[in-house]
Amino acid sequence: MEVNARRLVGRSAVVTGGASGIGLAAARRLAAEGAHVVVADLNAAAGEAAAAEVGGLFVRTDVTQEDDVVALYAATHEAYGSVDIAFNNAGINPTDDGSVLDTGLDAWRRVQEVNLTSVFHCCKHALPYMREQGRGSIVNTASFVAVMGAATSQISYSASKGGVLSMSRELGVQFAREGIRVNALCPGPVNTPLLQELFAADPEQAQRRLVHVPAGRFAEPEEIAAAVAFLASDDASFVNATTFLVDGGIAGAYVTPV
Ligand code: NAD
């Protein structure tokens, strides 16, 4: 995808889960638009490589650990003098999270910690910098499953993303008059290594899902990253507290084309 826009020159952008998939594509896109990117991830090798590629900073972070998150924004502020953009994107989708009938409490809690409590930590500790600056854009990664039910249930994942969606809306409303916007990004299924592996092993599972996508294909990570860059930028200056679906039309569909 060719990037001509330079909407983020001089801004600092923290990307959690920036070592892989959507986060990596967003780190590249935000940097291409001029931002100073801070990659935050558990995976040090891939995170260092991503940060080096985009000319940014890597901060090893476990987003479930509040102290790590505090240190992440402090390091960002120290390096670049501001915390302008927080893309709170790290998340997991483990196979032991399934039907409510089979999912154990351990799996439930792990997914809530990584997908939802982490976003609480990240918002809580990015916001003071943004309030001080009188400016900021927070983009929290939810999912289309925050607004639609799936019979192929991953119960804790869906509940965590519903939580991200309502938390984002509430924060967007609370801080709107301080120059801060908070939006929930809701991607449809994205062509990441995780999804490729899953569906290569079981093509029927891929087909079961593809039939519901009007676009007839899954998203590429760069298509989600383009939405992140828009929400992060002043082009989205009146876009706040939204459920920002980037799903190829899934949530709007009843019958899809054959
Ligand atoms: P991915 O597995 O490719 O990347 C996730 C990154 O998060 C990895 O680099 C991983 O190391 C990191 N991470 C995991 N736990 C962490 C922790 N505790 N602290 C710090 N980093 C941690 O995943 P992806 O497909 O790019 O997904 C990114 C986000 O998008 C997730 O929140 C996911 O739920 C959401 N999402 C994905 C899809 C999809 O189809 N891929 C669809 C909708 C929403």
| CATH number of the domain where residue 120 is located | 3.40.50.720
Domain-located, residue 3: no
Helix (H) or strand (E) holding 13, with range, is strand 12-16
204, part of any domain = no
Q: Which helix (H) or strand (E) holds 246?
A: strand 243-246
- Closest ligand 1 atom to residue 189 Cα is 40
Instruction: Determine which residue's CA is closest to atom 23 belonging to ligand 1.
Output: 21
Q: CB-based burial of residue 164 (10 Å sphere; 0-12 exposed, 13-18 middle, 19+ buried)?
A: buried
pLDDT of 258 reads: 86
Decide: 127 in ligand 1 pocket, CB within 6 A: no
Residue 64 lies in a domain: yes
Domain annotation covers residue 248 = no
Q: Is the whole model's pTM more than 0.95, yes or no?
A: yes
Of 58-72, 187-201, 233-247, least confident by mean pLDDT is: 187-201
Domain-located, residue 214: no
Work out how many domains the chain is built from and give that number.
1
* Nearest alpha carbon, ligand 1 atom 10: 17
Grade residue 10 by pLDDT with cuts at 50, 70 and 90. Answer: very high
Catalytic residues, which ones? 157
- With the most atoms of ligand 1 within 8 angstroms of its CB, the residue from 48, 97, 154, 190 to mutate is 190
E strand segments, 51-188? 57-60, 85-88, 136-141, 180-187
Cα 92 off chain centre by: 11
Instruction: Kindly state whether residue 34 falls inside one of the protein's structural domains.
Output: yes
Residues 52-103: pLDDT tens digits? Answer: 999 999 999 999 999 999 999 999 999 999 999 999 999 999 999 999 999 9
DSSP tag of 19: T
Give the model's pLDDT for residue 255. Answer: 96
Range of the domain at 160: 12-192+221-243
Tens digits of residue pLDDT in 159-172 = 999 999 999 999 99
User: Is position 77 within any domain?
Assistant: yes
Instruction: Decide if 210 is inside a domain.
Output: no
Give the Cα-Cα-Cα angle 225, 229, 232 (nearest 5 degrees): 135
